[in-house]
Amino acid sequence: MAVLIDWRAGVLDLLTLNHARLIIVSHLDLPIGDASSRSNHDRTTDGRRLRILAVGDVVPWPARDGYRLRFSSVLEALSDVGEIDLFLGVYAGQEDTRKLPSIFSRHEVVVVPKMNPSRALVLLTARSQLPSLILWREWDEARARIRQFVRGPYDLVWYTHADTFVALGDPSFGPAVVDLDNLVDHILQRSFSPSFRTSNRAQIPIGIHHLHIAAIAKWALNQRDRILWARLQRSIAKKAATTVVCSEVDRQRLRANRVAIIPNSYADPGPPSGPLPNEPNLVMVATFTYQPNLDGAHWFAHQVLPELRRLVPDVKVRLVGRYDERLAVAASVPGVEIVGEVEMVGPELRNARGAVIPLLNGSGTRIKVLEAFAYALPVVTTEIGCEGLGITAGRHALVQSDPLAFAAACAQILTDESLCEGLRQNGRSFFVDHYRTYTVAAQIRRTALGAAH
């Protein structure tokens, strides 16, 4: 009996898509540079400005999460070398463009709705070679609108996320750069476990609500998608003029030619203005609607925090960022406070003794580690949480993946002043040397110029 669960989002008309030509992109999470980082190398050989089409799946401003930080930073860097037409295919309710800066020649936003769960969707998924994130969205109107919108051919088309490249791309638009900031097959591979998680977001298209059947269906869908994502990402890398990833680790995983590394970055808030607070308060800043972040929050609350409260009874952990009802279980644990999304994250970071990034899954690199380093905040994370950043465990951050060891590391930053001071200085220096936005902005501009006609 076939059962499918829409635990992420997406829909696409299979027959139409099979005739569509492929170009891919992904979301970038970095705040961008300034004029001082530009050089003569950031110009075309004839000195003219590029004509650029940027295609995305979110409105990148306000840039309150990693995806939007990266995408907004890319767009700002591209505006230094060209005139940008911006086309966005977004989920319903996310089409507000009032915060877009005036760096675009033209822009258009089209809602790409989710496909309603049905038996037809089950059959479509069984036949399709597309991952559900792309397949389960209705792209027809967006495909028609982008063809009316473009004034090509462009010197360069920058796609953020694979879905925009697959569903909306066309070789006639111009040479494609596709940003694969997360390799989704590796995220799904790490999510496989004998104990299946359930999600309040899950939707079962054919009315079967038994918990174990739903969990098995979700696992089976993840297995299917993992295989299809791996194929799709390799296909994209062959077709695009340049494929972008955010670390050497992901470049080696992709195993493709014409791959550029553009790391995540963060806007420098300046050096710290004072010492760490004495109160035993930790902070986790994340988008908790993203499954790896949600899983990390639950792992910390249920497996780490009880031991940490034994070591430091007064500890408090503030969860800062967008969330939904699935986070409520973590909030029931003593010592956890859900703050939600805030306008400015700086005050939350400055009022904390340390930052926790307890990720057990994911791909790409974590901007939240860079954010904590930028604010000179001691960090406790897992091996996956700091993967691809090049940090040294014990020098730049405390790195533990076992729950008891993670709790002990948190207790250290709550009680050891000398350790905290060393982590603050080393983390801040590492950020300044490698991950400030103006450095990455120069890499974005060079990548764009190298891929353009």
CATH number of the domain that residue 380 is part of = 3.40.50.2000
Question: What is the DSSP-derived secondary structure letter of residue 49?
Answer: P
Q: What is the CATH number of the domain that holds 78?
A: 3.40.50.11010
Across the beta sheet with 156-160, what order do the strands follow?
A: 104-111, 82-90, 50-56, 156-160, 176-179, 242-245, 259-261
| Apex 213 CA angle, 217 and 5, nearest 5 | 40
Residues 102 and 77 in one domain: yes
Residues 331 and 209 in one domain: no
Total domains, the chain: 2
Question: Is 303 domain-assigned?
Answer: yes
Question: Is 6 domain-assigned?
Answer: no
Question: Is 109 domain-assigned?
Answer: yes
Residues 194 and 298 in one domain: no
Question: Is 271 domain-assigned?
Answer: no
Residues 321 and 250 in one domain: no
Which positions ≥6 away from 183 have C-beta within 8 Å? 229, 233, 245, 250, 253, 254, 363, 364
Residue 26, SS3 per DSSP: coil
* CA 177 vs CA 73, 99, 149, 155, 244: distances in Å: 15, 25, 19, 11, 7
Structure-token pair, residue 180: 């694969």
**Which run of H or of E encompasses 340?**
strand 336-340
Bridge partners (DSSP) listed for residue 436: 266
Which pLDDT belongs to residue 100? 94
Question: Is 335 domain-assigned?
Answer: yes
Question: Is 3 domain-assigned?
Answer: no
Residues 288 and 216 in one domain: no
Residues 314 and 235 in one domain: no
Residues 338 and 256 in one domain: no
Which positions ≥6 away from 419 have C-beta within 8 Å? 378, 412, 413
Which pLDDT belongs to residue 191? 66
Strands 82-90 and 50-56: parallel
Closest CA to 30 of 340, 446, 443: 443
Tens of each residue's pLDDT in the chain, 453 residues: 233 333 233 333 332 333 333 333 333 333 333 333 445 445 555 678 999 999 999 999 998 888 899 999 999 999 999 999 999 999 999 999 999 999 999 999 999 999 998 989 989 999 999 999 999 999 999 999 999 999 989 999 999 999 999 999 999 999 999 999 989 988 888 765 433 343 333 333 334 444 567 778 888 898 999 999 999 999 999 999 999 999 999 999 999 999 999 999 999 999 998 999 999 999 999 999 988 899 999 999 999 999 999 999 999 999 999 999 999 888 889 999 999 999 899 999 999 999 999 999 877 678 999 999 999 999 999 999 999 999 999 999 999 999 999 999 999 999 999 999 999 999 999 999 999 998 899 999 999 999 996
Residues 226 and 359 in one domain: no
Question: Is 428 domain-assigned?
Answer: yes
Please tell me the distance from the alpha carbon of residue 243 to that of residue 246, in angstroms, as a whole number: 10
Residues 245 and 323 in one domain: no
Which pLDDT belongs to residue 7? 28
Please tell me the distance from the alpha carbon of residue 52 to that of residue 7, in angstroms, as a whole number: 34
Which positions ≥6 away from 163 have C-beta within 8 Å? 10, 57, 133, 134, 137
Residues 378 and 398 in one domain: yes
Which positions ≥6 away from 135 have C-beta within 8 Å? 10, 11, 12, 14, 17, 115, 124, 125, 128
The residue segments making up the domain with residue 122 are: 14-266+438-451
Question: Is 80 domain-assigned?
Answer: yes
Which pLDDT belongs to residue 216? 81
Residues 192 and 316 in one domain: no
Residues 179 and 198 in one domain: yes
Which pLDDT belongs to residue 44? 59
